[in-house]
């Protein structure tokens, strides 16, 4: 009896292992489909810090060329905003993220101009592949100030999707990444100042009233040492304004497809929204300014962590992968 008992015990353990193995094989593919590729917060934080560093240096150079000192409010910010150097940081970041997730060479993902008709073409920030029928496209936009133009920026994004669907195959997977500087101005709590005096004779050239906060808060100053000169009397101060971050989030939720689909409609197949708070880590006469970034929480449907995996899931559904 003892010999028979000792013989059966190892056999029972082997049977248990055989029963577990098929369960693992069934469960693991479903888990990988959802979490196959995830952009980490550390990766995007580093990209945001690099992006902001390039933008900040560009604005400093523009400010200096205008002959303005550090304590004067910033003017003509749109001239620095249209400079493509800072947005190139995000374009390169998402090219690398997509190429890594697809397990293809980095050269197979990049910017591309697609000709829809002889009379109509459009450039896309991120495209895979670089030749033939486009399978995955990503559009990238950012907003560091001029939050009053948010509606225009959202309508531009909507127009990009509409153009693609009008002229191109409805099977192309299309994603949208939107960086928004999150700070006192975007949240509607920054104090607006009074405009400049303008020309002594005509009064012209007053410009837009500056926001009395630092540039990394969405304000119009590199240095707040003389900000009192631009402060309005208490009786003229405006009440708090709307929260642009919350408004942007709701607008983007209107643009994203509620569910993956084999054929696309007017909605984006995936959207990543990154409202980001930026803080200085170094600030001295002989020290280069450094930055730390914190990405604010948004609706999970706009979470950047799963942006690439959502695009790939739709591409699989449409037979591209």
Whether the per-residue pLDDT at 27 is higher than 70: the answer is no
Predicted pLDDT of residue 48? 97
Q: Which of the residue ranges 38-42, 61-65, 95-99, 139-143 would you say has the lowest mean pLDDT?
A: 61-65
Q: How confident is the model at residue 170 (pLDDT cuts 50, 70, 90)?
A: low
pLDDT in tens, 71-117: 999 887 665 555 568 999 999 999 999 999 999 999 999 999 988 88
Q: Percent of the chain, pLDDT > 90?
A: 56
Q: Are 260 and 268 in contact (CB under 8 A)?
A: no
Asked if pLDDT for residue 25 goes beyond 50, the answer is no
Mean pLDDT of 156-163: 89
Dist CA 35 CA 278 (whole Å): 28
Determine the Cα–Cα distance for residues 318 and 130; give it in Å rounded to an integer: 19
Q: Which residues contact 103 (CB under 8 A, 6 or more apart)?
A: none
Q: What is the mean pLDDT of the chain?
A: 83
Let me know: does 209 contact 231? Beta carbons within 8 Å: no
Which pLDDT belongs to residue 168?
A: 67
User: What pLDDT is recorded for position 117?
Assistant: 85
Q: How far apart are CA 133 and CA 120, in angstroms?
A: 16
The pLDDT of residue 17 is: 38
Average pLDDT on 169-189 reads: 92
What percentage of the chain exceeds 70 in pLDDT?
78
List, for residues 240-271, the tens digit of each pLDDT value.
Answer: 688 999 999 999 999 999 999 998 888 999 99
Domain boundaries, the chain: 41-317
Provide the residue count of the chain. 321
Contact 140/125 with Cβ under 8 angstroms? yes
């Amino acid at each position: 009896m003892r010999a028979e008992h000792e013989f059966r015990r190892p056999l029972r353990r082997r049977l248990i292992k055989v029963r577990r193995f098929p369960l693992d094989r069934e469960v693991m593919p479903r888990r990988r489909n959802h979490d196959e590729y995830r952009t980490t917060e550390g990766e995007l934080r580093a990209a945001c810090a690099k992006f902001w560093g390039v933008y900040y240096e560009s604005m400093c150079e523009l400010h200096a060329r205008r002959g303005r000192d550090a304590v004067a409010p910033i003017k003509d910010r749109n001239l620095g905003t249209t400079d493509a150097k800072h947005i190139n940081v995000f374009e390169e970041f998402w090219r690398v993220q997509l190429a890594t997730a697809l397990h293809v060479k980095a050269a197979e993902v990049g910017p591309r101009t697609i000709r829809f008709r002889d009379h109509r073409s459009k450039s896309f920030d991120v495209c895979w592949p670089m030749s033939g029928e486009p399978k995955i496209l990503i559009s990238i936009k950012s907003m560091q100030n001029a939050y009053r133009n948010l509606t225009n920026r959202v309508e531009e994004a909507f127009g990009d999707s509409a153009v693609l669907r009008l002229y191109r195959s409805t099977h192309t997977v299309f994603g949208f990444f939107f960086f928004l500087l999150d700070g006192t101005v975007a949240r509607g709590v920054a104090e607006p100042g009074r405009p400049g005096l303008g020309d002594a004779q005509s009064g012209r050239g007053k410009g837009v009233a500056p926001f009395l906060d630092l540039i990394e808060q969405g304000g119009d100053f590199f240095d707040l040492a003389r900000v009192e000169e631009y402060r309005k009397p208490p009786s003229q101060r405006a009440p708090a304004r709307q929260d642009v971050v919350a408004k942007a989030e709701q607008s983007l939720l209107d643009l994203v497809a509620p569910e993956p689909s084999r054929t696309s409609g007017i909605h984006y197949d995936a959207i990543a929204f990154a409202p980001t708070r930026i803080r200085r880590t170094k600030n001295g006469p002989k020290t280069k300014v450094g930055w730390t970034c914190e990405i604010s929480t948004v609706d999970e449907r706009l979470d950047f962590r799963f942006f690439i995996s959502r695009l790939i899931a739709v591409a699989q559904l449409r037979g591209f992968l």
